[in-house]
């Protein structure tokens, strides 16, 4: 079973558990819940024994345990049973290291302040992108996904340091990954994180316009970084797919306005203009993008 199927199985399990709570017959519901609990306890006990044996095996066993923890699926099981060899603080720090290169173009630095008694992870952003209407949601979504992947046991995430824009576009909370080519009437208009096709990534120094579940998206590869925007000029609304990158700058072929794609799509000559950035992160060698709610509907 590959990682994608595991995600689908996990989503299906959650759906079935939710449906189980709605069973009218109380006795049947209680027995179903007991069955689920016993199964979880059973494989949890087996996993605990495996970890115990590896721990007793010294350095070689610890290396094996760390290798198991590197697997996302096994790591989630280790976290579920409080068996992960790396504590939550270190895993959050590792997650932030992964997203810092992306945040650099939108917000600057990010500092982890710790997790409180209620399990809320607190972070502080530095050097925010002032004047960019979608910086807050872009940054928070990127951080939220990275931390949820690394430390799913946290109860929530609070981010300080970016002022909420007055008219920020509403973005959905993190949803399970779906394929960009899995188009349906229900998916049109944006549904959280969408996994992109493997051949959709542009080569270094170029752009690529693509349709993602009915939404026009522009990908830009700049100096080793991948960036995503809605494919619409911030001045005239025209597609930017036929434009060319000039280092970090992108000139609209229709109206001539220039935007800095490295700095959240800000207008170079008119700072009040900007492109709308989309969170874009790499997971297991595949890229996925988060969509604003209602776009393309």
Mean confidence (pLDDT) of the chain = 77
Q: What is the Cα–Cα distance from 27 to 43, expressed in whole angstroms? A: 25
Architecture of domain 178-290: 3-layer Sandwich (2.102)
> Per residue in 238-254, pLDDT tens?
999 888 888 889 999 99
Between 94 and 259, the more confident residue is: 259
3-state DSSP call for residue 52? helix
Q: Do residues 215 and 208 lie in contact, with contact meaning Cβ atoms separated by under 8 Å?
A: no
Per-domain residue ranges of the chain: 3-80, 88-160, 178-290
The better pLDDT of the pair 169, 209 is held by: 209
Token pair in block for residue 229: 């925007």
Most confident of 148-162, 186-200, 252-266: 252-266
134 to 106, 190, 249: CA distances (angstroms): 9, 16, 19
Hey, what CATH class is 88-160 in?
Answer: alpha beta
More confident residue, 233 or 69: 233
pLDDT of amino acid 216? 92
Q: Which residue has the higher pLDDT, 151 or 139?
A: 151
The Cα–Cα gap between 27 and 157 comes to: 37
Per-residue pLDDT, averaged over 136-158, amounts to: 77
Q: Read out DSSP for 3-65?
A: HHHHHHHHHHHHHHHHHHTT-S-HHHHHHHHHHHHHHHHHHHHHHHHHHHHHHHTHHHHHHHH
Taking 50 as the threshold, does the pLDDT of residue 48 lie above it? yes
Q: What is the pLDDT of residue 104?
A: 55
* CA 176/CA 66 separation, integer angstroms: 26
Q: How far apart (Å, rounded) are the C-alpha atoms in residues 134 and 260?
A: 15
Instruction: Identify which of 104, 118, 110 has the alpha carbon closest to the alpha carbon of residue 263.
Output: 104
- pLDDT of 13 > 90? The answer is no
Distance in angstroms (rounded) separating the CA atoms of residues 127 and 232 = 26
Least confident of 27-36, 81-90, 171-180, 258-267: 171-180
Residue 222 has pLDDT above 60, yes or no: yes
Tokens of 275: 């492109």
Position 175 scores a pLDDT of: 37
């Amino acid at each position: 079973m590959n990682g994608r199927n595991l995600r689908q199985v996990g989503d299906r399990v959650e759906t079935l558990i939710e449906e189980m709570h709605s069973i009218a017959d109380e006795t049947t519901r209680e027995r179903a819940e007991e069955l689920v609990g016993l199964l979880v306890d059973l494989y949890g006990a087996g996993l605990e024994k495996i970890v115990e044996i590896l721990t007793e095996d010294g350095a070689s066993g610890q290396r094996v345990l760390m290798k198991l923890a590197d697997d996302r699926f096994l790591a989630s099981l280790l976290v579920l049973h409080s068996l992960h060899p790396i504590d939550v603080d270190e895993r959050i720090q590792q997650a932030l290291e992964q997203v810092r290169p992306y945040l650099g173009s939108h917000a600057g630095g990010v500092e982890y302040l710790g997790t409180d008694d209620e399990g809320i992870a607190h972070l502080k952003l530095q050097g925010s992108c002032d004047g960019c209407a979608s910086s807050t949601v872009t940054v928070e979504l990127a951080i939220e996904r990275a931390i949820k992947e690394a430390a799913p046991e946290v109860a929530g995430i609070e981010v300080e340091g970016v002022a909420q824009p007055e008219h920020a576009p509403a973005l959905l909370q993190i949803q399970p990954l779906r394929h960009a080519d899995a188009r349906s009437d229900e998916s049109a208009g944006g549904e959280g994180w969408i996994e992109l096709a493997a051949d959709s990534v542009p080569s270094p120094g170029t752009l690529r316009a693509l349709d993602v579940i009915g939404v026009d998206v522009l990908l830009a590869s700049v100096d080793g970084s991948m960036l995503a925007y809605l494919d619409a000029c911030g001045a005239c609304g025209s597609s930017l797919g036929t434009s060319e990158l000039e280092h970090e700058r992108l000139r609209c072929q229709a109206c001539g306005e220039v935007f800095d794609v490295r700095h959240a799509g800000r207008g170079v000559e008119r700072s009040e203009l900007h492109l709308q950035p989309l969170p874009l992160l790499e997971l297991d060698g595949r890229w996925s993008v988060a969509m604003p709610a209602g776009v393309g509907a």
